[in-house]
């Protein structure tokens, strides 16, 4: 049996969008302490959380995913809203999302699920909603001002360019998860 690797497959924002997200997070950090705000370098869209999988299986998934998306071109979408799961009044996860431009993200996620299922991984049961997780509400936190704090920071819409899918390792530590890129599948440069 090969080594188990805690892993996920993700899309990361381009540097310009990351800078915009960083500025927004910096402002939120000064306003709201009820949320553990993500480090900007860790902000991503999870296409599939794999959990602990054997390294050999992860390598096979990576190879099959590379073949599956070989013709995928770079693409853009517009981050244009903030929200929370399940909602802002009972928030557990705070996110940045898209309105109407997420079709290619959805196609990538479906393809990723199919590749993973072919290797024996269970498909996700919840409906996939493309989003960047930017914060997690602390346990027993008073989130009464969260909605107002987010509104006061006024996230300005920003385009984000996607150029690759990344296969990531995630190591849990007392200080939080440490993410390390294991593989990157580059998209074909767009027109």
Output the six-digit token pair for 79. Answer: 């981050």
Ordered strands of the 93-98 beta sheet: 35-37, 131-137, 93-98, 75-85, 158-162
Beta-carbon-side half-sphere exposure of residue 160 (alpha carbons within 13 Å)? 31
CATH of segment(s) 4-186: 3.90.1140.10
Residue 191 to residue 186: CA distance in whole angstroms: 15
The reported pTM is: 0.93
Over 92-138, what HEC string results? CEEEEEECCCCHHHHHHHHHHHHHHHHCCCCCCCCCCCCEEEEEEEC
Place of tokens 């190879």: 63
Q: Which residues of 160-180 are buried (b: 16+ CB within 10 A; e: fewer)?
A: bebbbbbbbbbeeeeeeeebe
Model confidence pLDDT, tens digit, residues 113-167: 999 999 999 999 999 999 999 999 988 777 778 888 888 888 899 999 999 999 9
pLDDT of residue 191: 55
Domain ranges of the chain: 4-186
Tell me the mean pLDDT per 10 residues along the chain, length 191.
Answer: 90 97 92 87 97 97 96 94 89 90 94 98 93 91 79 88 97 90 94 55
Over 2-28, what HEC string results? CCEEEEEEEECCCHHHHHHHHHHHHHH
Q: Which residues, in sequence order, are CB contacts of 176 under 8 Å at separation 6+?
A: none
């Amino acid at each position: 049996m090969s080594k188990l690797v805690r892993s996920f497959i993700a899309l990361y924002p381009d540097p310009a969008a990351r800078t915009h997200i960083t500025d927004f997070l910096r402002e939120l950090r000064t306003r709201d302490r009820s949320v553990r705000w993500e480090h900007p370098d860790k902000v991503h869209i999870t296409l599939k959380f794999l959990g602990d999988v054997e390294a050999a299986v992860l390598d096979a998934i990576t190879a099959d995913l590379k073949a599956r998306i070989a013709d995928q071109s770079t693409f853009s979408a517009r981050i244009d809203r903030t929200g929370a799961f399940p909602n802002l009044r009972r928030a557990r996860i705070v996110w940045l999302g898209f309105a109407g431009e997420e079709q290619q993200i959805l196609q990538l996620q479906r393809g990723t699920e199919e590749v993973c299922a072919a290797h024996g991984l269970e498909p996700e049961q919840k409906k996939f909603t493309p989003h960047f997780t930017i914060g997690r509400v602390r346990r027993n936190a008073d989130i009464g001002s969260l909605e107002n704090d987010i509104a006061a920071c006024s996230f300005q819409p920003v385009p984000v360019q996607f150029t690759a899918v990344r296969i990531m390792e995630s190591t849990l530590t007392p200080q939080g998860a440490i993410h390390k890129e294991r593989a990157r599948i580059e998209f074909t440069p767009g027109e």
